Amino acid sequence: MSKGGDIAALTEGLPPDAHPEWLPPMLAVLTDERFSDPDWIFERKLDGERVLVFRDGARIRLMTRNHNAVNDTYPELVEALAAQPAREFVADGEVVAFDGKVTSFSRLQGRMQIADPDKARASGIAVYLYLFDLLHLAGHDLTGLPLRRRKSLLKQAIRFDAPLRYAPHRNEAGEAYFEEACAKGWEGLIAKDADAAYTHGRSRDWLKFKCSAGQELVIGGFTEPEGSRKGFGALLLGYFEDGKLRYAGKVGTGFDDAFLENFRKTLEARRRETAPFDDAVDEDAIWVRPDLVAEIGFTEWTKAGRLRHPRFLGLRRDKAAEDVIREEPKK
């Protein structure tokens, strides 16, 4: 333990619970309201890949939100977790790569596409695992505890040496911290009710303060390249609403030549004859099976429900296509 305490003492009085095979992660709700509150804490919103860490003795699993094991992509993280004094725990966190002082999902793409540990280490892309919550420890369920208590236990139970990092937070002053975050080029903040339990699924006890617009969207088709461009021209995007795929527009920027060529092969393997979108799409497009998710940055939604100035940031493997909805600020 980082402070030399006794793990058994940390969980004294808590009900025993078997090590879980899976726990659905808690998810934040987007809001455009900024506030300060002494009963809330505010964490940096990291632009990476969400993972849950499951350690049960020698067995360590890094799992994405949609149940993918990513141990081979991040072998140095597995090694750091194996060196922990705590032998049984479940922690929540985010894997990130940096571009300067800013976390970069685009840079992380270079690691996310690798499934061989040796190639991952040789990629030259350093990754870090920020942990921000502790759900299980030494045979005890912590999810019913207040967030402040869980974070305190996390800081005591885990030894935070590189590449493991504790996700710090600020108390109360959410508005000032949000202004600072945006000035530094961060994605935003996550505001969390400090007394809330950890609930599985989306909850208003966690709120997203975003500095700029952006969300995951489903790829439903593509256009042919024009001129000297290779691979494809643009990706056609959508989101699910009441079980139907709604069209959100197309994105044609944010790709390099290698991605354009390689991803065309991925798209070809998913070709279908009919459009997957429920809306009429006025594009000369090639349709694909809507099971791939892209992270898209944009300035705003138009009144017609289309993306304004979209740019491709990368592919997401930590979210199932059917879970992608249009994120709108909640009051």
Backbone angles phi, psi at 117, to 5 degrees: -55, -40
Q: What whole-number distance in Å separates Cα of residue 164 and Cα of residue 78?
A: 10
Residues listed for the chain: 331
Sign of the dihedral through C-alpha 166, 318, 84, 90: positive
Backbone angles phi, psi at 224, to 5 degrees: -75, 150
Is the Cβ–Cβ distance between 143 and 197 less than 8 Å? yes
Q: What whole-number distance in Å separates Cα of residue 209 and Cα of residue 179?
A: 10
| Beta pairing class for 188-193 and 201-210 | antiparallel
Catalytic annotation, pick one of 3, 45, 319, 330? 45
In Å, how far are 64, 91, 96, 135 from 195, measured between CA atoms?
26, 18, 27, 15
Q: Is 195 helix (H, G, I), strand (E, B) or coil?
A: coil
List alpha helices for the chain, DSSP H: 7-10, 75-82, 105-112, 117-121, 147-157, 174-183, 257-268
Sign of the dihedral through C-alpha 147, 77, 90, 313: positive
Told to judge if 119 belongs to the known catalytic residues of this protein, a careful annotator would answer no
Question: How would you label 277-303 residue by residue, b for 16+ Cβ within 10 Å and e otherwise?
Answer: beeebebebbbbebebbbbbbbeebee
Residues taking part in catalysis: 45
